Amino acid sequence: MVSSSISQTRVWLITGCSSGLGRALAETVLEQGETVVITARNPQHIEDLAAKFPSQTLAVQLDVTKPDQVQEAVKQAIAKFGRIDVLVNNAGCEIAGVIEEISDEAVRRMFETNFFGVLEMLRAVVPYMRQQRSGHIFNISSIACFAASPGGGIYGSTKLALEGISGSLANEVAPFGVKVTIVEPNGLRTDFFTRSFALTETQIEDYQPLIEGIRQSVQELIDGGLIGDPKKASQAIIQVADSDHPPMRLALGADTVEAIKEALEFMRADVDAWKEVSMSTDFDAVVVNKLQAVS
């Protein structure tokens, strides 16, 4: 349900606006007359947006892996606009590689950007939302949480970690009128795979076919295999922001919906198949009490 009383002058803070979903969302929000704190590691990449919408934007340099820049970006936003109504944690990166040999450096880089960077943003923005007793946080996750694709284990784990804190955060801030939505996009037709994606080479011969297969799949995506429309994805996020009863999870794309359904069915099948063994691990008295309660 969409509220008719939603203000058209909300202040959005979006991370990673230089390209991809972040840029598409910033443009869409600005086109409908709202205000956006647009951020990028390289401010030159967002100068055109700031010039096109000078009265609606604040362009800020922001690398979410640098706590001082996070604090400064939020400080500038509050100083200029007095509030942050919508926070979109969009900045992210992926380095694909098999679990056995992906480097510690690559693992830490992904977690620093995709998880700890988000955590830093949350800790900087939530106090203001809590004080103003309103706000909406969008944490951009991924279809990777459900696809379990070979080579994507670390990236998927960063997004699963993000989803893990999002649910608890939603329950913590709900009493203060702050909402949290996890966004799970499919492969959007953006430049993510040419700007924010890297594939590590394998030194293990057994994995050579796998790495080559990933490389070919990524190239096929770049060549036109991406089916997600970033503009429509942006409009969907705005629709959720306008809703009085937003979802905890927003799947974007038919393939994401299907991946989630398949993952749920897979888990349900395992739970059902091993239910007797699973339930047998409680103390006998507990099992008896449960059976008596059911009867």
Catalytically active residues are 141, 155, 159
Distance in angstroms (rounded) separating the CA atoms of residues 147 and 96:
14
111-to-6, 105, 135 alpha-carbon distances in Å: 35, 10, 26
Of 294 and 256, the one with more pLDDT: 256
Number of structural domains the chain divides into = 1
Is 40 a residue whose pLDDT tops 90?
A: yes
Is 1 a residue whose pLDDT tops 50?
A: no
Most confident range (mean pLDDT) of 121-125, 143-147, 252-256 is 121-125
pLDDT band for position 17 (cuts 50, 70, 90): very high
What angle is formed at CA 49 by the lines to CA 20 and CA 23, rounded to 5 degrees?
15
Q: Count the alpha carbons within 13 Å of 248 in the hemisphere toward its beta carbon.
A: 10
pLDDT for the residue 86: 98
- Mean pLDDT, to the nearest integer, of 257-264? 94
| Percentage above 70 pLDDT, the chain | 91
Asked whether residue 243 is assigned to any structural domain, the reply reads yes
Asked whether residue 276 is assigned to any structural domain, the reply reads no
Q: What are the residue ranges of helices labelled H in 112-229?
A: 117-132, 144-147, 153-173, 192-195, 208-220
Whole-model pTM: value is 0.90
Asked whether residue 3 is assigned to any structural domain, the reply reads no
Q: Which two tokens stand for residue 78?
A: 């509050």
Asked whether residue 260 is assigned to any structural domain, the reply reads no
Of 6 and 34, the one with more pLDDT: 34
| The amino acid at 89 | N
Helix-then-strand count for the chain, H and E: 13, 9
Q: Which two tokens stand for residue 32?
A: 């409908």
60 CB burial (10 A radius; 0-12, 13-18, 19+): buried
pLDDT for the residue 290: 66
Of 194 and 69, the one with more pLDDT: 69
Asked whether residue 259 is assigned to any structural domain, the reply reads no
pLDDT band for position 3 (cuts 50, 70, 90): very low
Number of neighbouring beta carbons within 10 Å of residue 74: 23
Asked whether residue 165 is assigned to any structural domain, the reply reads yes
Task: Look at 23-32, 92-101, 226-235, 270-279 and tell me which has the smallest mean pLDDT.
Answer: 226-235
pLDDT for the residue 226: 67
pLDDT band for position 6 (cuts 50, 70, 90): very low
- Mean pLDDT, to the nearest integer, of 245-252? 96
20-to-48, 61, 115, 221, 228 alpha-carbon distances in Å: 15, 17, 19, 14, 11
At how many degrees (to 10) do helices 153-173 and 117-132 cross?
20
pLDDT band for position 5 (cuts 50, 70, 90): very low
* Residue 241: domain span: 11-252
pLDDT for the residue 7: 43
The CATH number of whichever domain residue 182 belongs to comes to 3.40.50.720
pLDDT band for position 4 (cuts 50, 70, 90): very low
pLDDT for the residue 202: 84
Asked whether residue 52 is assigned to any structural domain, the reply reads yes
Asked whether residue 152 is assigned to any structural domain, the reply reads yes
pLDDT band for position 228 (cuts 50, 70, 90): confident
Task: Look at 34-48, 65-79, 94-108, 278-292 and tell me which has the smallest mean pLDDT.
Answer: 278-292
Is 171 a residue whose pLDDT tops 70?
A: yes
Q: Which residue has the tokens 């009128």?
A: 177
pLDDT digits 0-9 by tens, 179-217: 999 999 987 777 765 666 788 888 899 999 999 998 888
